[in-house]
Structure formats: C-alpha cells, structure tokens
Amino acid sequence: PTCVDCGLIGHYNNSYYKCSKYNPDTADSVGTSCKRNQNFEMKQEKKEAKQQKTNNTNVVCSNCKEVGHSSSRAPLSHQSFTRKIPFSSCIRNNESIIATTSSSVNPQSAATIKSRIISAYEDVRQLIFRAQIFVNYYILMHKDDIIPDCIFKQNFWYSICQLVNNRKATNGTALPSDMIPAWDTFRIKYPAIIYKVNLASGNSQCISEACIVVATSYLNNIVELVEAKVLRYIRYILQNAFMTMSPDHVTKVAKEFCYQMVCKGNPV
C-alpha cells in the first residue's frame, strides 16, 4: 500500500508510527474534542431535546412493553424497583396472607428466615472458596500437563464441594484419577480446608448453581483470555515481519493459519 499523506510505500496513512508525517499525541492535544468546546446555548438545546424525548408519553418500553417510558431504568418502570424487593414483601405470616408492610411482619418469622438465608450464603461461600483453593493447588501441581476438561464442568465442582464438606464424592467419574490422592495429601497438610456442615433443605441447589458459575468463570479465564492474548501476540509478530500487509489480512492469517498451527488445529 501507498501512504496518502507522505506518498511512501509500506503503510496507508499518517496514523502509522513510522510515517514521516505521523503526529503522536502530546499533552497539548489532549482535550481538543469538539464535544468539550460546546457553548452554553448548545448544551441547553441538547438538554431540552433530551427532556422532550424523556417526557414523551407515547414511547413504549423495550422491556416491559408499557407506555410512558423507554427503558427499565425509568422511574415509571416497575423493573426499576422489583429488582430490590423489600424483605417484608417476601414473608408470609400464615399460609395465605403475604405481609404488605414491615409492621405486619411477624418479627419471629423474619428473624428465622433471615438466619436461614445468611446461613445458606455462608455455607455456599465457604464451600466454593475452599474448593477453588484446592483446585488451584491441583492445577499448579500439574502446570506442565494439560488441564483436564472436567474442571470446566458443574459435576466436578460439586464433587469437590462434597470433599470439602468431609463427604465422599457421589460422582467419582467426574474427578481425575489422581484427584482423590491429591485431596488426601492436601487435607492432611492443611486441615482447615475442611468445612463440615449439615446443609439445610434446599441449600444443595444453591451450591449446584454456584458450581455452574465457577465452572463458567474458569472456562472463560483459561480459554477466552489465553486465546485472545495468543492472537494479539501473533498479530504483533506478523505486523512487524510484514509491514506492507494490511491489518485485515494480518488478523485473518493469524487466526486461520498461525493460531491453528500453534494449537495443532486445522490451518486453512
């Protein structure tokens, strides 16, 4: 390609740092956006136009489909406050009557429910936190090996939580063959890893949902972030080796050929 600014071959315009007419940003060039130079009258006109759009009673919300507001962030949308439902509205004083105000709530019932909620959160947090500590220890022990695929699955994390709870893993097939010996060694060296608790009815479902979140987070961190970093490094090497190649071609070659060769895939 030929530069449209300096006329030399090897880049497209003066945005390239090796162009003779390249102008790097300086302290004086910061804050020169046109938006910063708007006068008071222009800002008032934009503010009034925005208010007219907000006060339009014929607009339809894209979430709840009700008329009078445009999004769930508007004060008129019920979704702006149902995300934080008052605790009193979730309590039943008996089998059929739901408490409508804080004064109609039975204090004893509220205290009992609150203690159960706090206990459930505490149990889930303790089990998941300790499970992550052990799994990270296991990964570091096998840093030169391929990470087992089971780490990215819910059943694996649920089985680890059972071990942390000083119970036998009910699904032994979800764990690698050397996981139990590694766990026995780890628990002897660090006995505080055990969090023995008798889970209340329904709390196991909370742990199961938390295991899904943890498995997904490990998958995202190991797969997505590493892949993006490798691709950025390959693009950097290619761009410096072939400066006349367009950025689009560099991205395509890096993703469809070089990355596949590095990962032993199917290069195009």
Lowest mean pLDDT among 85-94, 198-207, 215-224: 85-94
Is residue 60 one of the residues assigned to a domain? no
Q: How far is CA 13 from CA 4, 17, 27, 203, 216, in A?
A: 5, 10, 23, 61, 42
What is the overall mean pLDDT for the chain? 79
Which pTM does this prediction carry? 0.52
Can you spell out the DSSP letters for 167-232?
---S-GGGS-TTHHHHHHHHHHH-GGG-----PPTTHHHHHHHHHHHHHHHHHIIIIIHHHHHHHH
Instruction: Give the total number of structural domains in the chain.
Output: 1
Is residue 85 one of the residues assigned to a domain? no
pLDDT of 99 reads: 45
Is residue 47 one of the residues assigned to a domain? no
Is residue 13 one of the residues assigned to a domain? no
The whole domain housing 186 covers 108-262
Is residue 43 one of the residues assigned to a domain? no
- 242-252, pLDDT tens digit by residue? 888 888 888 88
Lowest mean pLDDT among 15-29, 106-120, 164-178: 15-29
pLDDT of 100 reads: 45
pLDDT of 95 reads: 45
Radius of gyration of the chain (CA): 29
When pLDDT is cut at 50, 70 and 90, the band that residue 133 belongs to is very high
- For 234, the token pair is 């390959």
Q: What is the mean pLDDT of residues 16-41?
A: 67
Is residue 62 one of the residues assigned to a domain? no
158 pLDDT more than 50: yes
187 pLDDT more than 90: yes
When pLDDT is cut at 50, 70 and 90, the band that residue 32 belongs to is low
* Beta carbons within 8 Å of 19's beta carbon, 6+ residues apart: 3, 5, 6, 8, 11, 13
pLDDT of 53 reads: 63
Lowest mean pLDDT among 35-39, 63-67, 96-100: 96-100
* Beta carbons within 8 Å of 101's beta carbon, 6+ residues apart: 88
pLDDT of 82 reads: 58
Region of 251 (left: φ > 0; alpha: ψ -120 to 50; beta: rest) is: alpha
pLDDT of 115 reads: 83
- 68-106, pLDDT tens digit by residue? 777 777 767 766 655 566 666 666 655 444 444 445 566
pLDDT of 14 reads: 83
Is residue 12 one of the residues assigned to a domain? no
Is residue 258 one of the residues assigned to a domain? yes
